[in-house]
Structure 1
Amino acid sequence: MHRNARASLAVATVIAGVFAFWGGWARRWMSDDGLIVLRTVRNLLAGNGPVFNVGERVEANTSTLWQYLITAVAWLTDGRLEDIATALALTFTVLAASLGTYASGRFWQLSFRRALPVIPFGIIIYLALPPARDFATSGLEWGLALFWLAIWWALLVEWATPARRAVPSAGYLLAFWCGLSWLVRPEFALYGGVTGILLIAYPPRKTPGILAAALPVPAAYQIFRMGYYGLLTPHTAVAKSAADSQWGQGWNYMMDFAGPYALWLPVVITAAVLVLLGRRVGGRRLAIVLLVAGCALAHVLYVLRVGGDFMHGRMLLLPLFALLLPVLAVPYNRGMAALATVLIVWATVIVVRSNPVDEDNYQGKNISIVDERDFWTVAVGRERGNPPQYAEDFLGLPMMRHFTEKIAEGREEDAAQATLGLDEDDPELFEWWVRPRIDDSETDLNDLALTAYWINLGMTSMNTPLDVRVLDTVGLATPLAARMPRDLDGRVGHDKQLPEQWQVADTALDLDDLPDWFDIRGAKQARAALRTEDIAELLASSREPMSRERFFKNIRYALGPGRTLQLDDDPSTYLDAATLRAIRNGEDPGLHSDIARIAWPTR
């Protein structure tokens, strides 16, 4: 390769890495959803297993590898978890930008008869977008996901390179990497699966070796997931019901992302460049370009079908990066230089303007799509440009007033539940209340720890000790909530709600001590419904102590009811006439486990 060509490739790689680091570092922050992952990490480090709450086997994180990577680094360094998550995410983002740009430049230099200098191109588009720089940190797995895509592309380039110039084992390395795809994010199975088909097709004689490289790790984890959690997918997929179609909301999500940045301009330029350059390649090289573009577009369609997300731009960042992979760097000529100049002007405008924020969208109960970084900065009472970075920063949220003090009080009193309400002296302020445990040594419900429910699972769980049971109302860590009916008009990803009657039923709370305005009869119906066959088995799949028998029961459950079970939010539908009559007479038939046990010792 010509010296100038090698130098240009190195320069493009460094530029991509430097700007990725600068962009991510300047907008570093921690999201509430990022804190959810860290609760599982805390339990892993404490020896409680990969769970969100002690004694309840729920996989509350979408990315399996992400939680274990943070755990490994925390175990080695004993660093603060928020710092580790932020540093890891940013490191992976920088590596993804650098390696992806390098692989793209190498691809084009190998595709022409003589190696041409290359210049950064598609990476300018990606890093200009504010949400791309926001989710370079945030505590979520986006950096890891970008890194997986970049390595995937780099291995594809090696696989498509003539044997005398490529890594000899590139095909098998690529197969192994594809096997990890859905452990990074479930939808990455699209990329890994389609690539696996391509590897088997070129040539079929290598099929046994490709399968041997790709399948053992994901297959082993899938068996573990079914036996340990009783599910085929992460629990978040059950909560978010990704099987349903919401094309209208998905289109709105697309426009919310593309509109503020005039994203049509760089997309049209990228498509034109792909067509122009693609005419110069053939064979395997053309096949991998088509593969990447096809997977990225299918990923976009998937995001649109499920209705997008509630975080501005987040779910479209990964397919956008994938689509840009072949042109993160392009061969230099006057035409490409001119187009790159247009992109630089566009990117400068976007970086200077940033994301236009309408604070009116932050008010009321019908919040749909928001700039999550800016939203939490405002919500917790911090100055613009100074977003939350640690769990305690979220205690400034009005709903978290006195939260840690009340949790400490509840632990000291061995209370049953901590609940959010309004302050008795000032109804404009929020307050947490602790409610006493039922005085009944015979009920298995007293095996349940102090329980706090709140929709924002990260800030509550990371500001409480591990012996407190923290649950959400939308189902990310709560099996009952995850199986509730969807509100088709609800916020995407938060369109399920566990009614208050079910919340208090699944605690050791004395229901007769509830305020008069509460639906006590409905709560007793819900508690009795927990003992019915279908719901009791759902709870046992995550709560019954793990044993060989329970493991194999869970595998059967994962392949059966665990795939399809949906609950009715009206508990009376599960009860016979005699039970309903007993409840009308003031009894609480759901207290005792003579029919089915639903709680096991965790305290």
Structure 2
Amino acid sequence: MTNRRGSLNPAFISTMLSATLLAVIAAIGGWMRRWIADDGLIVLRTVRNLQAGNGPVFNAGERVEANTSALWQYLLWIVAEITHFKLEVVALGVALGCTVAAVFIGALGAGHLYRRSTHWLLAPVGGLVYLCLPPARDFATSGLEWGLSLLWLALLWLFLVLWSDDSWPWIWQPLALWAGLSWLVRPELALYGGVVALVLLFSAPSWRRRMAIMAWGLPLPLAYEIFRMGYYGLLTPHTAVAKSASGAEWASGWHYLTNFAHPYVLWLVMLLVIGLVCWQYWVRSQETHQRRPLRSHLIIVGIMLGCSALHVLYVIRVGGDFMHGRMLLIPLFAALLPIMVLPVVPLSASSRRLGAMVPGVVGLCLVVAWGGIVAVRSSQACTDPARPEHLGVIDEREFWTCDTQRAPGDGPKNAEDFLRAGVMRDFQPVLQTAIHDHAAQLQPIVVQQEPTLLYSWMPLARPAGGKAPTQPLNLYPTVLGTPGMIAPLDVQVHDAVGLATPLAARMPRIEGARIGHDKWLPVIWQVAASDADIHQLPGWINRDDVVLARAALQKPEFQELFATYQDPMSFSRFMKNIRFALTTGRHLQFSANPRDYFTEAEIAEILHAN
């Protein structure tokens, strides 16, 4: 990217400056809003089990893939093993590093897209739009795999841009490999990786090249998919079973979209950016007239915009999410990649008059002004986080900042910070007592309704008689991440919504429930699956229903599910799990009412015997 005299041209210099500026903004903005979500702590228990030699599982002895991103858990594990840092520090640092690298690489890709516009100054238009959004800086850390997802997209974009340039004939190899990893970063990224793979295959000059593309792209995801089916007994991450997307929730999804777009007037700035793009395209088209083959800039830009649009449509269809903006950040970033930096000021001899520069400069100034206003007005009012009416679509960072009684803007940064949350009020002392007393289970309970909700925990005893426990202490907390990090690995931490509990994930969806938490394992099943003494249950747990649920768990359909993740691993078990994943595991669902599994006569007989 040099001019005829050999010096660096304005486009290259401004691209590098813009990319560096975006990286600095991402680093500072992400650091200032650094925090870790309770959901971000879930993966860290898996990392703890990997470190302990228990395998990639959430609970020792149960092969459950409780994390959506396979690569994220292994990346954190590797970095933790190398650095020996506290796991929360590793999660925050790696996430922020991935985000910073993503915006820098994305800007380089966009800059290369406009490399022929050597007499233009490029500005970080798309990058500023993304980074000025508070959720973008919130999920730059959070402990979740959003930074990794952005980095995967940014590198995919860079490889695509280089692939469209005839000067990089070998780039199809890393592009095919990288596209194949999409499924392992996040399942929905397979949309982007799959489309790129199809474009590579259709544009390949020969069948030999097509076979080579598949040889580069398929082995890693295929190998992991075979491992997933054999080890976990599923085709997808377990979270995909818990958050089944089989039903359409268009109204909830549209509400989720507007909840993200309206507070930041995102519609307006996107229209402004579109106008800026059209203007600079028109001006540049007057300077050069070239036709390009299939691997054109239009094709690769169309890939990102088309996949982004389909991704947004998918998010709307499944009803969005419960975290403000989270599920829309990835498709927004993908859509902005082609304009992460954008030509805005022409410097050619024919365009140096003031009138030719005004539209670009004014447009850039308006984007910067919008970004400044949005960035400054980024905090939402704190509400009572314990109230159910406040548990719709929420600002997750602000929610936990309030609930953990921290100063505004100072989100929780490790598992211990969450112990001040209402749902974790006396968790540690009660847990230690339950371990000491060899309790069977800990059940969360509400001890006060007014003026604020207060939670505690109730231990359930094992049968008397001195028999050795058949199961470890287990608990069903309201949240999963913090208890999973605080509890020892020999305590089983489950959840009623099914993220780490296969029985809960197979419950029917609850119509109108919170998106992402619309399945629920009733307490009778929780108790029945433990070895709690049914003769010592508190009055609010129906003993007869527990007896029936415990009997139902002996049915073949339940035992088949339990065997997939509880039986010792062997070659035979591995093959049976693959068969289960391809057949029963795709559609298995249980009834929440244990009486549905028996006739009236069988119910009477079971209750009489107990």
Which TM-score applies when normalising by structure 1?
Answer: 0.93
- In structure 2, what is the Cα distance between the partners aligned to 1:422 and 1:266? 45
Instruction: Give 1:268 deviation, angstroms.
Output: 1.2
CA contact (8 A) 1:278 1:286 kept: no
Instruction: Give 1:273 deviation, angstroms.
Output: 3.9
3-state DSSP class of the match of 2:544?
A: helix
**Letter in structure 2 aligned against 1:171:** W
Structure 1 equivalent of residue 248 of structure 2: 245
- Shift in CA distance, 360/271, structure 1 to aligned 2, threshold 3 Å: farther
- In structure 1, what is the Cα distance between the partners aligned to 2:328 and 2:426? 37
Instruction: Give 1:336 deviation, angstroms.
Output: 2.4
Instruction: Give 1:579 deviation, angstroms.
Output: 3.7
CA contact (8 A) 1:30 1:138 kept: yes
- In structure 1, what is the Cα distance between the partners aligned to 2:234 and 2:163? 35
- The unaligned stretches of length 5 or more in structure 2 are 3-7, 346-356
3-state DSSP class of the match of 1:228?
A: helix
Structure 2 equivalent of residue 354 of structure 1: 378
Q: How does 1:566-585 map to 2 (within 5 A)?
A: 566-585=589-608
3-state DSSP class of the match of 1:432?
A: strand
Structure 1 equivalent of residue 66 of structure 2: 60
CA contact (8 A) 2:425 2:456 kept: yes
3-state DSSP class of the match of 1:109?
A: coil
3-state DSSP class of the match of 2:123?
A: strand
Instruction: Give 1:494 deviation, angstroms.
Output: 0.6
3-state DSSP class of the match of 1:98?
A: helix
CA contact (8 A) 2:444 2:478 kept: no
- Shift in CA distance, 441/58, structure 1 to aligned 2, threshold 3 Å: farther
Q: How does 1:100-499 map to 2 (within 5 A)?
A: 100-110=106-116, 112=117, 114=118, 116-162=120-166, 165-166=167-168, 168-205=169-206, 206-276=209-279, 280=285, 282-283=292-293, 284-333=296-345, 334=357, 335-357=359-381, 359=383, 363-365=387-389, 367-423=391-447, 429-439=454-464, 446-499=469-522
- Shift in CA distance, 327/517, structure 1 to aligned 2, threshold 3 Å: closer
**Letter in structure 2 aligned against 1:476:** L
Instruction: Give 1:201 deviation, angstroms.
Output: 1.0
- The C-alpha deviation readout for 1:525-584, integer Å capped at 9, x for no partner, is 111111101111111111111111110000000001100011110011112455412333
Quick one: percent identity of the two aligned structures? 47
Instruction: Give 1:447 deviation, angstroms.
Output: 2.6
**Letter in structure 2 aligned against 1:554:** N
**Letter in structure 2 aligned against 1:512:** H
Instruction: Give 1:407 deviation, angstroms.
Output: 1.4
**Letter in structure 1 aligned against 2:220:** V
Which TM-score applies when normalising by structure 2?
Answer: 0.92
- In structure 2, what is the Cα distance between the partners aligned to 1:274 and 1:211? 36
Shifted more, 277-286 versus 321-330: the winner is: 277-286
3-state DSSP class of the match of 1:117?
A: strand
- In structure 2, what is the Cα distance between the partners aligned to 1:440 and 1:539? 27
**Letter in structure 2 aligned against 1:435:** L
Shifted more, 28-37 versus 261-270: the winner is: 261-270
**Letter in structure 1 aligned against 2:411:** P
- In structure 2, what is the Cα distance between the partners aligned to 1:27 and 1:438? 49
Structure 1 equivalent of residue 554 of structure 2: 531
- In structure 1, what is the Cα distance between the partners aligned to 2:110 and 2:414? 37
Shifted more, 351-360 versus 363-372: the winner is: 351-360
3-state DSSP class of the match of 1:418?
A: strand
Instruction: Give 1:100 deviation, angstroms.
Output: 0.3
Instruction: Give 1:387 deviation, angstroms.
Output: 1.1
CA contact (8 A) 2:250 2:316 kept: yes
- Shift in CA distance, 175/499, structure 1 to aligned 2, threshold 3 Å: same
- Shift in CA distance, 296/274, structure 1 to aligned 2, threshold 3 Å: farther
Instruction: Give 1:401 deviation, angstroms.
Output: 2.1
CA contact (8 A) 2:40 2:142 kept: yes
**Letter in structure 1 aligned against 2:406:** R
- Shift in CA distance, 403/362, structure 1 to aligned 2, threshold 3 Å: closer
Instruction: Give 1:356 deviation, angstroms.
Output: 3.5
- In structure 2, what is the Cα distance between the partners aligned to 1:433 and 1:555? 39
Q: Could you tell me which of 525, 532, 537 is aligned with 1:502?
A: 525
**Letter in structure 1 aligned against 2:265:** A
- The C-alpha deviation readout for 1:281-318, integer Å capped at 9, x for no partner, is 74421110111110010000000000000000000000
- In structure 1, what is the Cα distance between the partners aligned to 2:453 and 2:199? 61
CA contact (8 A) 1:54 1:469 kept: yes
- In structure 2, what is the Cα distance between the partners aligned to 1:482 and 1:276? 51
3-state DSSP class of the match of 1:462?
A: helix
Shifted more, 6-15 versus 281-290: the winner is: 281-290
- The unaligned stretches of length 5 or more in structure 1 are 588-603
- In structure 2, what is the Cα distance between the partners aligned to 1:41 and 1:227? 21
**Letter in structure 2 aligned against 1:327:** I
- The C-alpha deviation readout for 1:310-346, integer Å capped at 9, x for no partner, is 0000000000000000001012322322211110000
Instruction: Give 1:355 deviation, angstroms.
Output: 4.2
CA contact (8 A) 1:474 1:495 kept: yes
CA contact (8 A) 1:362 1:370 kept: no
- The C-alpha deviation readout for 1:468-511, integer Å capped at 9, x for no partner, is 00001100001111111111211100111110100100101011
Shifted more, 395-404 versus 99-108: the winner is: 395-404
CA contact (8 A) 2:50 2:56 kept: yes
CA contact (8 A) 2:179 2:193 kept: yes
- In structure 2, what is the Cα distance between the partners aligned to 1:329 and 1:430? 50
Aligned residues: 580
CA contact (8 A) 1:161 1:285 kept: no
3-state DSSP class of the match of 1:288?
A: helix
Task: Quote the RMSD (CA, aligned, Å).
Answer: 2.0
- In structure 2, what is the Cα distance between the partners aligned to 1:518 and 1:176? 53
CA contact (8 A) 1:109 1:331 kept: no
**Letter in structure 1 aligned against 2:343:** P
3-state DSSP class of the match of 1:52?
A: coil
3-state DSSP class of the match of 1:408?
A: helix
**Letter in structure 2 aligned against 1:26:** M
Instruction: Give 1:358 deviation, angstroms.
Output: 6.1
CA contact (8 A) 1:59 1:236 kept: yes
Is residue 89 of structure 1 aligned with residue 114 of structure 2? no
